[in-house]
Copies of this chain bind each other. A is one copy, B any other.
């Protein structure tokens, strides 16, 4: 953005950089199609032939851009977990007390779980992965879990959160906000943001009336 760029007309002749960008876009498209298929029919049931067909390409092309089926899944999962990681980092940087920061994080957490890659994280069961894949997956999830616990602990420490068991509280919150990933189909009614906000509100205030 610092140097002025000349406008070229849309040419069928691609420069080396164009080729690279195209390659990236194709990789991205494959990932997108795969995560949709995985979410819609489950990892095991979704076939790579299916994914390929949805892009009107052939299966070996998928193998060109990503490795085997598990690697496709791992990439999807990693994407989702990176989004969560960013959200956690953001929450930690934020001003305000523990509860405020946690609330922000929870909202983002819920929203991400309704996004394609986030849903994939929530819907993927450990045991479809190889030993190494599982270890990788679990390590990343543990970091998110730890971030959630840290925020809860901070809130408990500064008094903005009730003196609850940190582990169990984080588990309960995460569970509640993971669930939409199993259900949300973007079919509408409410936007993901609105749904997330409402759920977080229920969790923060509880269902018992406040005097």
Q: How near does chain B come to A197, taking the closest CB pair, in angstroms?
A: 10
Q: Are A210 and B162 in contact (CB under 8 A)?
A: yes
Q: Are A162 and B205 in contact (CB under 8 A)?
A: yes
Q: Is the interface of A mostly helix, strand, loop or mixed?
A: helix
* A162 / chain B contacts, CB cutoff of 8 Å: 205-210
Is A173's beta carbon under 8 Å from chain B? yes
Q: Are B209 and A160 in contact (CB under 8 A)?
A: yes
Q: How large is the interface on A (under 10, 10 to 19, 20 to 34, 35 or more residues)?
A: 35 or more
Name A175's closest neighbour in chain B (CB-CB).
Answer: B179
* A171 / chain B contacts, CB cutoff of 8 Å: 179, 199
Q: How far is the CA of A42 from the CA of B124 in the complex (A)?
A: 11
Q: How many copies does the complex hold?
A: 2
Q: Are B44 and A127 in contact (CB under 8 A)?
A: no
* A161 / chain B contacts, CB cutoff of 8 Å: 207-209
* A210 / chain B contacts, CB cutoff of 8 Å: 162, 210
Q: How near does chain B come to A76, taking the closest CB pair, in angstroms?
A: 17
Q: Which residues of chain A from 168 to 204 have any CB-CB distance to chain B below 8 Å in the complex?
A: 168-169, 171-180, 182, 195, 198-199, 202-204
Name A162's closest neighbour in chain B (CB-CB).
Answer: B209
Q: Are A207 and B173 in contact (CB under 8 A)?
A: yes
Can you offer 24 A-B residue contacts whose CB atoms are under 8 A? A40-B127, A42-B128, A44-B44, A99-B207, A125-B182, A152-B207, A161-B209, A162-B207, A162-B208, A165-B198, A168-B195, A168-B202, A172-B176, A172-B198, A172-B199, A173-B202, A175-B175, A175-B199, A176-B179, A176-B203, A178-B182, A204-B206, A204-B207, A204-B208
Tell me the A residues contacting B by CB distance below 8 Å.
40-42, 44-45, 99, 102, 123, 125, 127-128, 152, 155, 159-165, 168-169, 171-180, 182, 195, 198-199, 202-211
The 3 A-B pairs of least Cβ separation, nearest first, read A206-B206, A175-B179, A176-B176
